Amino acid sequence: MSAQEFEIIVYGATGFTGRLVAEHLLRTYGVDGDVRWAMAGRDREKLKQVAIEIGAPMNTPLIEAKTSDSGAMDALAHRARVIITTVGPYQKYGEPLLAACARNGTDYIDLCGEPNWMAAMIEKYEAAAKQSGARIVFSGGFDSIPFDCGVWFVQQEALKRFGAPARSVRGRMRKMKGTFSGGTMASMLATFDAMKRDPGLAERMSDPFALSPSRLVAQPSGDGVIHEEDIPSWSAPFVMAAINTKNVHRTNALRGYPYGRDFTYSEMMLTGDGKAGEKRARAAASQAKMQQSLLNFPPTRALLRQFALPKPGQGPNKEQRETGMFDVLVVADAGDGRQLRAGVTGDKDPGYGSTSKMLSEAALCLSATPRETTPGGVWTPAAAMGDALIDRLQLRAGLRFKLEN
C-alpha cells in the first residue's frame, strides 16, 4: 500500500461511465480489500445515491470536490496514488484536476480523445509532471487502448520474428457492436467548437504527429475508400483514427522510436469484400464527409447536444453493454513481403462496458508501474505500461490480444 490514503480515486463517479468504473472496482476488488479506492464528484448527495444504486457498502469513501476550487483539487490529488477522471469534455472541465496532479506528483488517467486539448496540456504541464514525478496518461479507454496497445503488441512480435520492427502497421476496425459513448460525441462537438474559434486548429488536427515532438515520414491517408487485397476487404474512413493515429505515433516517440523513424500507420474500417463491400465503403465515406460538413455548422452541433447526446447519467442498458463487443485487426508489414496479423477483441460494448474496465485496470497497472521505467511526464497507455498493461487487460478487462498467423 502506498503512503497515500487511496490507491485510486474515481472522479466523476456520478456520471454514466464513472459509475461503471466504480461498479467494476467494487465487483472485482471490493471496498475493504487490497485495492483501497474512493468515489469522488461535485455533489456528495449524488455520490451517496450512486453508491446505494451500485450496491456499495456504507463505508465506501465518498469525496466531494469541485473543479472550480483549486484547493479542493490539490487536496484530492494528495489523497490518491492515481486519479481516474471521466469528467468531460476535458477541454471544458479537465484542466484543474490535471494541473493539480501535475503539481502534486499524483498519477492521472482519463478517457480523453480531444487532441487539441491534449496538445495544449502537454505543452503547459509536461515540465511540471516531469519535475513532480506525476505520470499523466491520456486516452485510457476505447480511444486509444485497443489500437495503441495493438500496435505495441504486433511490434514486439515483429522484433522476435523479423529481428526488426515492422515498417508499416494497419489498424482495421473489423467488427463492432455497441455505440461510442456520449462523452466521445460531446468531446467531438467541443473540438468542432474549438476549431470554429481557431481556424488553424483544423490543420493541426489533421496532423498525425500533432502529439509528437517531431514529424517523421509522410503517413498514409485514411480519408478515402481503398481495396486491400491481402485482407481481403474494402476499407472506409474510421472516426476514431483522428485520435488513435496521434497516440500511436506519440508512443513511438516517447519510447525512443522502437517502431523506427520511417514507421507508418493507418487506421480504417473494414466493410467486406466484393461489390457489396465496396458499396458499404463508399456509403460510409460519403456519410463521414456529410457529417463533417454538418458538424462545421454551430446550429447542427446545438441540435445534437439538445436531442441526440445522452443526458448526464444516461447510456445503454446492461443488456446492451453485455451483448456488445469489438474486434480490431492489426496488420504489420515488414516491407519485404513478410506479414504479421493480430486480433484485439473486447467482450463488452466499446464505448461503455469495455471502456470502463480498460480504464479501471489501466489505472491499477499505472499504480504498479515503477517510476524507474516510467518517470513523470505525459504518456500514452502503451508507452507508459507496455506489455504489463496488455497482460492485465487480458486478465481483468475482457480483452484478448491474439496472433492470427
CATH number for the domain spanning 81: value is: 3.40.50.720
DSSP readout, 51-99?
A: HHHTT--TT--EEE--TT-HHHHHHHHHHEEEEEE----HHHHTHHHHH
Task: Looking at 143-240, list the stretches that DSSP marks H as alpha helix, in order from N- to C-terminal side.
Answer: 145-162, 182-197, 201-205
Q: Mind listing the pLDDT tens digit for each residue in 274-313? A: 999 999 999 999 988 777 666 666 777 677 667 666 665 6
113 lies in the same domain as 230: no
329 lies in the same domain as 310: yes
20 lies in the same domain as 35: yes
The answer to whether residue 234 sits within a structural domain is yes
CA pair distance 338, 324, nearest whole angstrom:
34
The answer to whether residue 271 sits within a structural domain is yes
The answer to whether residue 297 sits within a structural domain is yes
Q: What pTM does this model have?
A: 0.94
CA 296 vs CA 98, 194, 291, 300: distances in Å: 29, 11, 9, 8
25 lies in the same domain as 90: yes
User: What Rg value do the Cα atoms of the chain yield, rounded?
Assistant: 20
Distance, C-alpha 218 to centroid of its chain = 24
Helix (H, G, I), strand (E, B), or coil: what is residue 7? Answer: strand
198 lies in the same domain as 220: yes
45 lies in the same domain as 121: yes
> Looking at residue 345, what is its pLDDT?
98
> Which strands, in side-by-side order, build the sheet including 107-110?
62-64, 37-41, 6-11, 80-85, 107-110, 135-137, 377-379
107 lies in the same domain as 152: no
Q: How many domains does the chain have?
A: 2
The answer to whether residue 251 sits within a structural domain is yes
Q: Give the domain range for residue 20.
A: 6-142+353-397
The answer to whether residue 20 sits within a structural domain is yes
The answer to whether residue 1 sits within a structural domain is no
Instruction: Show pLDDT as tens, one digit a residue, over the chain (405 residues).
Output: 347 999 999 999 999 999 999 999 999 999 989 999 999 999 999 999 999 999 999 999 999 999 999 999 999 999 999 999 999 889 999 999 999 999 999 999 999 999 999 999 999 999 999 999 999 999 999 999 999 999 999 999 999 999 999 999 999 999 999 876 666 677 777 777 787 788 777 777 789 999 999 999 999 999 999 999 999 999 999 989 999 999 999 999 999 999 999 999 999 999 999 999 999 999 999 988 777 666 666 777 677 667 666 665 677 888 989 999 999 999 999 999 999 999 999 999 999 999 999 999 999 999 999 999 999 999 999 999 999 999 999 999 999 999 999
**Do the beta carbons of residue 18 and residue 86 sit within 8 Å?**
yes
Nearest CA to 356 out of 30, 55, 10 is that of 10
311 lies in the same domain as 196: yes
183 lies in the same domain as 294: yes
333 lies in the same domain as 364: no
CA 275 vs CA 227, 287, 389: distances in Å: 11, 18, 40
**Do the beta carbons of residue 30 and residue 60 sit within 8 Å?**
no
114 lies in the same domain as 55: yes
In single-letter form, the type of residue at position 264 comes to: T
